[in-house]
Amino acid sequence: MKGKRIIPPIVLLIVWQLLCATGVIPAFKLPSPVQVAAGLVDLIGTGMPPGHPLHLHIYYSLQRVLLGYVLALATAVPLGLLMGWSRTVCAMIEPLVEIVRPVPPLAWIPLSILWFGIGIKSAAFIIFLGAFFPILLNTINGVRGIEPVLIEAARMLNAGRRFFFLNVLVPGAMPSILTGMRIGIGVGWMSLVAAEFTGVKQGFGLGYMIMTARDIQRSDEIIAGMFVIGAIGLGIDACLQLAERHLIRWR
């Protein structure tokens, strides 16, 4: 069954290569898979710009992602648990959340540069905004979706607040929290790469690398960079799925 999953990508690559080789798709519009592979080799060896190898671009992008994502987790999960449990707190905070939530993270880029300058702080802020709201909303829904019988059983046993929080509220909401984490990292990852288009202080980042390749019209390296971004995103999601299977074995 797993072997069948690689058939569509292989077929797509073959068709893509044939269309490019026969001239149906001009090379200046879309390079062939072979050319993209050569561009990836150049990114790994020479770098873009030269002297800036791919692994350092990946390192700096992941560093920015980690900082913003951890901040989003540290704030969205506790706030979501509180808003999901307390209708009063939710009624107070929800209007503000619904005002800010529809604003795309990229719309905050000018303010983030103004507030934090060009560097890891502004990028982490954009990541934070991208990841915060999916995690928050899924945490709220997770708390509200806990079976009422579990809550009543805890009350009948006179469970303390600490016990109730750690053994009923958090485990009950955990499946939804993990779903929010997967959505949040996806949105945050996309937002970070776009935020790097505006410039980076260290001269490293996958978004910065792609924009540099665009400036010198290296479409093969642009697509190679896009492939790297997608592959890393797939790997991150796979890690979160693995964590999900271990954390909620009881489902």
Domain ranges for the chain: 66-201+231-247
239 pLDDT band, cuts 50/70/90, is confident
Q: Is 97 exposed, middle or buried (0-12, 13-18, 19+ CB in 10 A)?
A: middle
- At residue 10, the pLDDT reads 85
**What number is the average pLDDT over the span 210-216?**
86
- Poorest-pLDDT segment among 134-138, 157-161, 176-180, 245-249: 157-161
Distance, in Å, from the CA atom of 220 to the CA atom of 39, rounded to the nearest integer, reads 5
Residue 90: the pLDDT is 83
For the four alpha carbons of 157, 163, 165 and 166, in that order, the dihedral sign comes to: negative
**Radius of gyration, alpha carbons of the chain:** 22
Least confident span in 34-38, 110-114, 115-119, 199-203: 199-203
pLDDT at 107: 85
Is residue 165 predicted with pLDDT exceeding 80?
Answer: no
147: region left, alpha or beta (phi > 0 left; psi from -120 to 50 alpha): beta
Share of the chain above pLDDT 70, in %: 86
Choice among 58-67, 139-148, 155-164 with the minimum mean pLDDT: 155-164
Residue 198 has pLDDT above 80, yes or no: no
> Where on the phi/psi map is residue 113: left (φ > 0), alpha (ψ -120 to 50), or beta?
alpha
Single pTM value for the model: 0.82
**pLDDT for 125 beyond 60:** yes
Report the candidate in 100, 125, 96 with the shortest Cα–Cα distance to residue 110.
125
Q: What is the mean pLDDT of the chain?
A: 83
- Name the class of domain 66-201+231-247: mainly alpha
For 172-181, how does the pLDDT look when each residue is reduced to its tens digit (9 = 90+)? 778 888 888 8
* pLDDT: which is higher, 91 or 198: 91
Joined together, the tokens standing for residue 102 give 């529809």
